[in-house]
Structure 1
Amino acid sequence: MKNRVLFLVLCVLLNIGIALGQSKEDSVNSEAVSKAWNLRAVSDFELAQGGKATYYKDKRNGALAVNAADKSQRDVFASAEITFEGKSGFYKPFLRTMTENDGESVYKISVNGNEIRTITNPKTKAPFERVTHDLDVIMLNTNDIVEIQSKAVTNGEIPENDGTAWSRGRWTGLDLIPKELLSNKKEFLQALLKDVVPFEENEGLLEVEAEDFHHKSNNGSPRDWYVRSKTSIVPIKDVILEDHADSASGEAYLEALPDTRVTHDDTLVKNENFFGVPGTGGTVSYKVKIQNPGTYYVWVRAYSTGSEDNGLHVGLDGEWPESGARMQWCKGKNSWTWSSAQRTKEKHCGIPQKITLNIKEKGIHYITFSMREDGFEFDKFILSKAADFRPE
C-alpha cells in the first residue's frame, strides 16, 4: 500500500513539473505527428480571386501558372492557399516548381499572412525542368492558412512579339514533412517520395541515369549536386567548368560543386570539400523496386580529371554500410569510366568489385549516393546481382 501511495505521489509531482517547466516546443513535439502531407497545386489549393494576378491550371504540366500573355498579370503575384488539416507541430516544407528559360520566377510562402520565405527559380536554357526547393523547418498549427504566391517575370533574353517572353511562375506542389521523420532518413524518403514511381529492378539488374534522381539535398553542407547538360546553367559565379555532357549517357550528368580541391596540393577542408564519413556530404536519392533481393554489386560511371575528384559513397534505406563506403577511381582519367572498387588503407586505388549493398527484402527501397570529394562527376549507376557482371 505504501509503495502504491508513493507511486501516485511521484506521478502527481512529475505531472506538475512537466506542466510548469515544459516549453511550447516540448509540448508540440510530445504529440504524435506521423503523417506527411504531399499537396498538389492543381487539386489541393484554392485559387485566390480578385488579386492583380490570378492562377490558371496548367493541367498538361500539373501546375498552377500565371497568364503572362495578359500584360496586366505580369510582374505581380498570384496566390493560392490551403487550410492545414494536420496536427500541430514542426514541419519541413519542400516547394516543387518548374523552371522556365524566359525568366526566373519568384515565389513566396506565407503562413497566416506572414511571409516565411522568398525563393527565386534557378536560371536555365531548357524550359519546364522540375526543381524542389528545400526550406527551413517551420511551425504549423491545425487550421493555419498556408499560402503560395508566384509571379511572371522576364529575363529579357527571348524576343517575343513586340517585347520579350515571360515565365509563368509555375509550381506543382508543396510537401510538408514532420520534423521527427527527418531524423530517420528512410521514413523521411518514404514520406517525401510517397507518390513517386520507382525504378524497377529486372532479373537482378537495375540501371539509372544519375540526373534522374528523386530527391537531392546539400545535407547542410556548402556543396551541392548540379545537373550538367547542354542546356543547364550552374549558378556559381566566376567559375569556368569543363563540360562533358556530349559524351555522357543521355547527354547529362551530375557534378559536386563548387570544386575547390582539384589536386593534392589544394587545402583539404573536412565537411567542406572532403566528406570522409558517408552520408555527411550532399546526397542524391532514388526510389527503387526490388523483385529479387540479395547482394547487389554497385557500379558507377564517373569522369575524373584530377587526383581529388574520384571518390563517392553509397547507402541503402538511410543506412551507410561499410560495403558502400569509399568508392574509388584511379584508372580512366579524362573519360567516362565504370568502377565498383573500394578504397582501403592498404590499396588507395581500391579493391575491384567490393562496393555492394545487401538488399534483404523485395519491395521498395531507397538508394542514396553521398559526396566524398567535390568536383566528382556522376553519370549513371547499375545494380547487378551477378559477380561477373561488367558494364560495357
Structure 2
Amino acid sequence: MDVTSIQEAFDRVSKKQKLCYTKTQDVIDRTLHEVQAAAVTLNEIVDCIPEVRKGVLTDLQLKLTEIGPSSQVGATQKELNTTVSKYGKLLDKAFNPDIAKAHREVEFDSHLINQIIGQHFYRLGLFELGDCFVNESQEPNAAALKAPLYEMYQNLEHLRAKNLEPALNWTRKNRQTLKAKGSSLEFQLHQLQFVHILRIKGRSEALEYAKVSFSAFAAQHMSDIQRLMACLLWANRLESSPYKDLLSPSHWDVVALQFSRECRNLLGQAYESPLYVTLSAGSQALSSLLKLATVMSSKKQEWAALKQMPIEIELDKAYQFHSVFACPVSREQSTVDNPPMLMRCGHVLCKQSIQKLTKSNSRTFKCPYCPLETTATQCRQIYF
C-alpha cells in the first residue's frame, strides 16, 4: 500500500472541497445580495405602478442569469464529485483489492487443512470450538493434541494463580527430556516457589524448601542459589533489600511463557500456530504479489505459471526462520549444488554464475559489481 499516494489524493480532495465551498458561498452571497437589493427597491417605490415593479424584477432576473448560480454551483460540485470518486477508487484499490489476482491454482489436501484448523483452535485454548469443528469436519485426527494442550492450559491457569505445584509435577515427569535440552524451567519454577514461600510463610519454611529442592541444581545454578540464600537474611523486608527484583511480577510472566514454549516443544510443535504464521506472512506478501500480478497481466503474462518468483518478497524478521541467499546475477536461490561463493573483492555470487563467467578455473573474470578481477579457484564457499 502506497501511503504517500493516498495522502496526496486526500490532500487534493480536501483542497477541492475547500475551493468548492468558497465558490458556492460566493455565488450564494452574490445572489442573496441582488435579491435583497431588489426587495429594498420594491419597498421604496411609493406608487404601485406595475410597470415599475416589473422592471425591477426584470433587472433582477438579468443579474441572476448573469451570475448563473445553478450552473456555477453545479460545475463546481461536479469537479468535487469527480475528485472524490477517484479518491474512493484509490481507497478501494489500496484497502479492498481483488486478492483473487494473487491466487495460484494449488491442489490442497482438505483433510490436512481441516486438521491444521482444528489444531489451531486447540493451540489457542478454544477447546469447545475445536471440538465443534472436529465433529462437523469429521476429522478425529485433529484432536490428537487436545489432551496435552488442555493439560498445558490448566497448568498455566494454576501458575498465574501462584499455584506452581501442577507445573512442577509436569517438569518432574519430563525432567530427563528437559535436561537433555538444557532447559532451566524446573529451577525457575523452584525459584519462584522459594520466593513465594519466603514472603508468605517465612524464613524457616523457605529454608526447608531450599534444602529439598535446590540440591539437584547446584552444579548449574550455584550463583543463583547463593543469591536466593542471601534473601533469607532479609525475610519480612525483602521489598527493601538488594534482592527486591526477585519480587517483580514479570518473573511469573517469563516463566509462564517459558512453560508454554517447553510444553509445545515437547509435543513437537512450534510456539506460534502454523496457521497464524502462514496467514500473517501471506498478508505481508499480498501487496507485492498483487502488484506483480498486475504488472505481468499488463504484459499479457501469467505469473501463476512461473516456477520461481521473479521478485523477492520482503517479510519481517519474525518470519525469517533460516538464511536464504539469492544470487544477484541469476536471481536464483542458493542450493547444495549451487552454493554461495565469496570472491576476493567481498561480493558473493552463486557457484553456477561464477562458472558461467569463466570457462576454466584459471581464467580471470571481472566482478559484476566492482572493477576487481578474480578466478574461480580463488572463490571460497560461505555458509549463512
The TM tier, using the shorter chain, reads under 0.3
Q: TM-score, with normalisation over the residues of structure 1? A: 0.21
Structure label with greater radius of gyration: 2
Greater share of helix: 2
Q: TM-score, with normalisation over the residues of structure 2? A: 0.22
Greater share of strand: 1
